[in-house]
Amino acid sequence: MLELKDITKAVGGATHIHPTSLVLERGSLNVLLGPTLSGKTTLMRLMAGLDKPTTGSVWFDGKDVTGLRVQDRSVAMVYQQFINYPALTVYENIASPMRVKGADTAAIDRAVKKAAELLKLTPYLDRTPLNLSGGQQQRTALARAIVKNASLVLLDEPLANLDYKLREELREELPKIFSESGAIFVYATTEPSEALLLGGNTATLSEGRITQFGRTIDVYRRPSDLLTARTFADPPLNTIALEKRGDGFAIGGKPVLPVPGHLKHMADGPMTIAFHPHHLAPAGRDDSAALTVRTAISEIAGSESFVHVEFEGNRWVMLTPGILDIEPDSEITVHVDTRHLMAFDAAGRAIGTAG
Amino acid sequence: MNKTWNNKAWFMVLPVLVLVAFSAAIPLMTVVNYSVQDTFGNNQFFWAGTAWFEDVLESDRFWEALGRNLMFSGIILAIEIPLGILIALNMPKKGIGVPVCLVLMALPLLIPWNVVGTIWQVFGRVDIGLLGRGLAALGINYNYVNNVFDAWATLIVMDVWHWTSLVVLLCYAGLVSIPEAYYQAAKIDGASRWAVFRYIQLPKMKRVLLIAFLLRFMDSFMIYTEPFVVTGGGPGNSTTFLSIDLVKMAIGQFDLGPAAAMSIIYFLIILLLSWIFYTVMTSGDETA
């Protein structure tokens, strides 16, 4: 069990990590989700012991390890760049953590062969990393992390530099690869979809603060505040400032949306209503609300379309399957799936989310 | 099929051809010309065949000078390469120290050869030089004019002072290009300082080191100005390198034929050794 107790990190005058407490259980997969510069890497470095927290302490299995050097802890880390020893073969690269520990040759051979098998590297064991593709180089780095058999495995955007196909393939394999080791996994990513695909737990980060930590699906469905909801949305979350009046949401006294069942319990008053881009659609269900919006741009990405629309001065994105050919600057009718509306108060705290 | 020929393109490369002809090809051919003929001046030439080459290759003078060259280059490389790596490893990676170190390192490189020679010649003089007087005051009997060891030591120290910076700068360039993550990964692995050097820094510096090695070898093998200024090839013939001997032979004794033959042999040796070094040092690269 890894515990961060009120740790902070300041470099020079700038605070990189605000007071943060976090408890990660053994055998769990934990995603750190946040945009670039939100403090994911800094937090990982603190967990690993590469950096010392400015204040607070780090505990592992009930022991204070705050001052302990990284080489004296049981940590493995995989980076966004493909980091391997350039002059060593794949075999020696995978073997390197065990060699440092002074394991015997037979044990090393068994572990290396097993890891290579798992990561489909067996045919390349005699090559040097520079003669491998990017995907194979990263597999080598992952195999090194497996062989190390560490109790804390940190993966810092390991798939960011790989192409789409390889990323999908490795992302699927990763949880399986590490599942049997019983270690704590921490996986940093900027992509909400990656967090959802990996499952486990997610901590959303924004500007050096953990805004929420919990089961990935819970954080996604029931964000505790607007910041978390925004961090966990890609394309960006659609928001609008509305006033709840009985059974309807209104803007400037004009009713716009009906209040769905799960938000009926809220008191009347002004609030921010938010929903994900895929809950906006050109065609609706019976219980969805129709709105007239003005189109700005339409982007077609493979089998999906991103339509940027404007409603009462708010810029929204509609993410819809299929190729939608829409004229810019025209009026269209879109449907909001009101079952998924989220409501936040003036301070950004969640007052109503999906059940 | 009709192929149209347009020879106008040749005019495009003509300036380069003319330049190379005057700067390299014609002088080289002149040397070749001299090396196979005998002349007593007044434009009378007699065919000499390979006689001069045989003369040069059979003379002790040539082999002794070549031996001195190889020994000098060997010593220079053995000192400058490790020393350059060591300094580069200890140079700061960020902060105000970086520009300070870089400027300090670049300073010796900006000084012309003969000036370096003159500086050290005066510096080492036993009557007025700071080094010469200083060593004498310490009770060390130092005199580069009549002691072979002192003459060599002076030349070597001078070359190390002048050129180690080049190795440092090249190595430093190689070192700063290594991403920080490599060091982190090594730290997490618990790799020792030596392992980091051996398995990360050295492989990453390999290419620049090869360049540094070749540059320093070729340059030190062609050494001329420094011994010419400081020792004049002495004491005796102890610092008479190939280049010094060549000039003595060609201009001092006016033996143009043997000197030309020696030039060509000298040129071929440098070409051959450089090619061998390059082949050996790049053979480690796998191309699979």
> What is the domain partition of chain B in residue ranges?
26-37+44-282
CATH number of the domain that A302 lies in? Answer: 2.40.50.140
Largest CA distance in chain A: 78
A76 & A191 share domain: yes
Among the candidates A184, A200, A231, a domain finishes at A231
Min Cα distance A85 → chain B (Å) is: 6
Q: Do A86 and B204 touch (CB under 8 A)?
A: yes
Angle at CA of residue A338, ends A336 and A344, nearest 5°? 105
**Do A135 and A264 belong to one domain?**
no
Nearest chain A residue to B178 by CA distance is A83
State whether A64 and A45 are in the same domain.
yes
Task: Read off the pLDDT of residues A8-44 as tens digits, 9 standing for 90 and up.
Answer: 888 888 888 888 888 998 888 899 999 888 888 889 9
A343 in contact with B, Cβ within 8 Å:
no
pLDDT tens track for A118-173: 888 899 999 988 888 888 898 899 888 888 888 899 999 888 888 888 888 888 88
Put simply, the answer to whether A77 touches B184 (Cβ < 8 Å) is yes
Pick the CATH number of B26-37+44-282 from 1.10.10.60, 1.10.3720.10, 2.30.30.60, 3.30.70.100: 1.10.3720.10
- Chain B nearest C-alpha distance from A76 (Å): 7
| Contact: B181, A86; criterion CB under 8 Å | no
Q: In what order do the strands lie in the sheet with A152-156?
A: A75-78, A152-156, A184-189, A29-33, A201-206, A209-215
My answer on whether A302 and A277 are in the same domain is yes
For the stretch B45-67, pLDDT in tens is 777 777 778 877 888 888 888 88
Give me the helices (H) in chain B, please: 9-20, 26-35, 51-58, 60-90, 97-106, 113-124, 130-137, 148-176, 180-189, 193-196, 202-221, 225-230, 242-247, 256-282
Does A95 lie at the interface with B, CB-CB under 8 angstroms?
no
Residue with tokens 């992390």: A145
What mean pLDDT is predicted for residues A337-352? 87
pLDDT per residue as tens digits for the range B134-183? 888 887 777 777 888 888 888 898 889 989 999 999 999 989 888 888 88
Token pair 């064991």 in the structure block, residue? A125
- Asked if pLDDT for residue A307 goes beyond 80, the answer is yes
Query: Does residue A18 sit in the same domain as residue A84?
Result: yes
* pLDDT value at A355 more than 80: no
> Same domain for A220 and A273?
no
Tell which of A231, A250, A274 closes a domain.
A231
Q: Are residues A202 and A346 in the same domain?
A: no
Which pLDDT does position B41 carry in this prediction? 66
Which of A231, A247, A276 is the endpoint of a domain?
A231
User: What interface predicted TM-score (ipTM) does this complex get?
Assistant: 0.70
Q: Which residue has the tokens 């080598």?
A: A140
Give the domain range for residue A63: 2-231
Q: How many domains does chain A have?
A: 2
User: In chain B, which residue's Cα lies nearest the Cα of A74?
Assistant: B188
Q: Do B203 and A86 touch (CB under 8 A)?
A: yes
